[in-house]
Chain A
Amino acid sequence: MTNLLEVKNVSKHFGSFTALDSVSLSVPEGSIFGLLGPNGAGKTTLIRIINQITMPDEGEVFLGQEKLHPLHIKDIGYLPEERGLYKSMKVGEQALYLAQLKGLSKQEAKERLKYWFDKFEISHWWGKKIQELSKGMAQKVQFIVTVLHQPKLLIFDEPFSGFDPVNANIIKDEILKLKEEGATIIFSTHRMESVEELCDHIALINKSKKLVEGKLSDVKRSHKGNIFEVGVLFDDQDRRLQELKQKFVVTDANFKTIDEQLKIKVTLEDNASPNDLLAYLTANGRVLRFNEVIPTVNEIFIKTVSENE
Chain B
Amino acid sequence: MNNLPLILKREFIARVRNRTFVVMTFLSPLIFVGMILLISWLATINSSDVKQVAVVDETGSFFEILKSSEEVNFLNYTDYKLEQAKDSVRSKELYGLLYIPGNTANSKLEESVQFYADESPNISVIRNIEKSIATKITNQNFKEQGLDIHKIEEARARVNIQIENFSGEKTSKMSTYIKMIFGGAAGYFLMMFIIIYGNMVMRSVIEEKSNRIIEIIISSVKPMQLMLGKILGTSFAGILQFFIWVLLGGILLTVITSIFGVNAQPPSMDAAEAMAGANQEQIQLILNDILKLPLLTLVVSFLIYFIGGYFLYSAIYAAIGAAVDSETDSQQFMLPVILPLMLGIYVGFFSVIENPHGTISTIFSMIPLTSPIVMLMRIPFGVPWWEVAISMLLLIASIVLVIWFAGKIYRIGILMYGKKPTYKELFKWLKY
Contacts and interface: CB of A to CB of B under 8 A. Distances in A.
Interface stretch (B71-79, B137-145, B215-223): B215-223
A82 B215 contact: yes
B216 A78 contact: yes
A101 B213 contact: no
Contact of A82 (B3, B7, B207, B212): B212
A80 B6 contact: no
B429 to A, nearest CB: 9
B415 A84 contact: no
B14 A98 contact: no
Contacts of B220: 73, 98, 101-102
Interface residues on A, range: 20 to 34
Of all A-B residue pairs in the complex, the 8 with the closest CB atoms, nearest first, are A84-B212, A80-B215, A101-B220, A84-B211, A78-B219, A51-B219, A84-B213, A82-B212
A53 B14 contact: no
Nearest to A85: B213
29 contacts: A14-B432, A15-B428, A15-B432, A48-B415, A53-B219, A74-B1, A78-B215, A78-B216, A78-B219, A79-B216, A80-B215, A83-B213, A83-B216, A84-B211, A84-B212, A84-B216, A85-B213, A85-B216, A86-B208, A86-B211, A87-B211, A97-B10, A98-B216, A98-B220, A100-B3, A101-B6, A101-B217, A101-B221, A142-B216
Contacts of A103: 1
Contacts of B17: 88
Nearest to A81: B215
A21 to B, nearest CB: 17
B216 A80 contact: yes
Contacts of A70: 1, 222
Nearest to B7: A101
A281 interface: no
Interface string B401-423: 00000000000000101000000
Contacts of A86: 14, 207-208, 211, 213
A145 B1 contact: no
A85 B221 contact: no
A171 B350 CA distance: 67
B14 A89 contact: yes
A279 interface: no
A53 B14 CA distance: 24
Contacts of A101: 3, 6-7, 217, 220-221
Interface in B200-248: 207-208, 211-213, 215-222
A32 interface: no
Interface in A71-111: 71, 73-74, 76, 78-80, 82-89, 97-98, 100-103
Contacts of B207: 86
Contacts of B222: 70
Contacts of B14: 86, 88-89
Contacts of A97: 6, 10
Contact of B219 (A14, A80, A87): A80
Contacts of B6: 97, 100-101
Contact of A71 (B1, B7, B221): B1
Contacts of A15: 428, 431-432
Nearest to A77: B219
B432 A145 contact: no
B219 A85 contact: no
Contacts of A74: 1
Interface of A: 14-15, 48, 51-53, 70-71, 73-74, 76, 78-80, 82-89, 97-98, 100-103, 142, 145
Interface in B173-194: none
Contact of A73 (B1, B10, B211, B417): B1
B213 A73 contact: no
B282 to A, nearest CB: 55
A73 B53 CA distance: 85
Contacts of B219: 51-53, 73, 76, 78, 80
Interface string B21-62: 000000000000000000000000000000000000000000
A100 B5 CA distance: 11
B212 A83 contact: yes
Nearest to B220: A101
A58 to B, nearest CB: 14
Contacts of B3: 100-101
A76 B221 CA distance: 13
A47 B377 CA distance: 51
Contacts of A102: 220
Given A86-B213, A87-B211, A101-B6, A53 B1 contact: no
A53 B218 contact: yes
A241 to B, nearest CB: 56
A130 to B, nearest CB: 9
Name which of B207, B212, B431 has the most chain A CB atoms within 10 A of its CB. Answer: B212
B53 to A, nearest CB: 63
A78 B219 CA distance: 7
Name which of A71, A73, A87, A101 has the most chain B CB atoms within 10 A of its CB. Answer: A101
Nearest to A16: B428
B216 A145 contact: yes
Contacts of A79: 216
Nearest to A87: B211
A53 B412 CA distance: 10
Nearest to B217: A101
A142 B219 CA distance: 13
Given A83-B213, A98-B220, A103-B1, 9 more contacts: A14-B432, A15-B428, A15-B431, A48-B415, A73-B1, A86-B207, A86-B211, A101-B3, A101-B217
Contacts of A142: 216
Nearest to B1: A103
A134 to B, nearest CB: 16
Contacts of A85: 211, 213, 216
A225 B432 CA distance: 45
Nearest to B19: A88
A97 B1 CA distance: 14
A83 B214 CA distance: 8
B220 to A, nearest CB: 4
Given A15-B432, A97-B6, A97-B10, A53 B415 contact: yes
B411 to A, nearest CB: 8
Contacts of B221: 101
Contacts of A48: 415
A15 B412 CA distance: 12
Interface string B249-285: 0000000000000000000000000000000000000
Contacts of A82: 212, 215, 417
A83 B1 contact: no
